[in-house]
Amino acid sequence: MKKNRLLKTLIIASFITYSLVSCSNNGNSNNSSNVETTTMDIDSINRIVFEEFKKSFPDATYDDFLLNSTKQESSVDITYKYLSSSITVGLKGNFKSKDILITNDLGVKEKRTVYYYIKSNWVVVEDYIYVDDIEKETYFLALNSDYTYSFKQEYKYDEYGNGIEGKFYRYYDNEWILASEEVVINGSFKPLYTIELNDDGTFKAKFTYEYDVNGNPIDEIYFEYIDEWVPINKYSYTYDDSGIWIEDKSYFYFEDEWVLKNIFKNYNGFPKPVYSIEFNDDNTFKSKKEFDYDSLGNLLIEIEYDYENDIWVYKMKHEYTYDDIGNLVEENTYLYVDGEWVLLNN
């Protein structure tokens, strides 16, 4: 879950272009009365921006601000940069965003906070700390297209900058709902569970996760909410000593136990099915297939079974032969009749 950077980029990019005059008009950015038709004189804007900077840097002077700040102007706003921080305002002096970097007396970075100005209030949308000059995100707030809250993420670190935990929240009906918790394994944040919500804010589905010491997922369970959390499917993964995936198994939950459905193995870097079961509508066994491959991942044998009288019985077998470069040169199909395989083709 950490982190959809593309989503963050789109949200931030779309928001910075938003004129905060609209915030004083119930957030209706399409209202033609929100178009800025007049501008404030630059000295007045300078002073408004300086006073805002001074809240974060109380020792700053107006003369130093004029001397050391830079401006980047567009047709709709001005971005001031001062003391490694920035504030963006509209041409009428209305605030849009600010990015404040705090350093200690030695100039070492300590904290950075990004704000958006929404309905006459500064709202924190990103928060960072620094450990050995490395930026660590502690907070991120995502907004919908109408600038209401969508979700937020929170992260904690120890004094050395090592991650401790993370939390992910969804916003619904003026309430933050905890939708995921993360732990740190092998230096990376990993979700313990994730929850999906319906449009009305009720629970819909949940995934839970377990990992090996390297942070590779070894079990993933899918639940649906039907008055309570009901297990539906499970996926189990196996790795070699180098952490390379070698096998996964999928199960479905039936009559209080996990029933194996499929097995895939890694052959020459590609997942290949080695075991597959088809079920009837009432979840009883219907048919089964087993597969075997050569070291290149070429299919050698496929055996089909039917489920009859509570046992698996042979039905059909397919055998494949290849040349030295992996081209299929022969295929034979057999039918199981009276206890032996009968060749159907020559």
pLDDT-derived band at 39 (thresholds 50, 70, 90) equals confident
Contacts of 12 (CB under 8 A, 6+ apart): 125
What pTM, to 2 d.p., does this model score?
0.75
Do residues 164 and 156 lie in contact, with contact meaning Cβ atoms separated by under 8 Å? yes
Give the DSSP letter of residue 47.
H
For the stretch 119-136, pLDDT in tens is 999 999 999 999 999 999
Q: Is the peptide bond before 119 cis (omega within 30 degrees of 0)?
A: no
What's the pLDDT score for residue 38?
A: 56
Three-state DSSP class for residue 133: coil
For the stretch 277-289, pLDDT in tens is 999 999 899 999 9
**DSSP per-residue string spanning 208-246:** EEEE-TTS-EEEEEEEEESSSEEEEEEEEEEE-TTS-EE
Cα(74)–Cα(91) distance, integer angstroms: 9
H-assigned helices in the chain: 5-16, 42-56, 62-68
For the stretch 210-252, pLDDT in tens is 999 999 999 999 999 999 999 999 999 999 999 999 999 999 9
In the chain, how many H helices and how many E strands? 3, 22
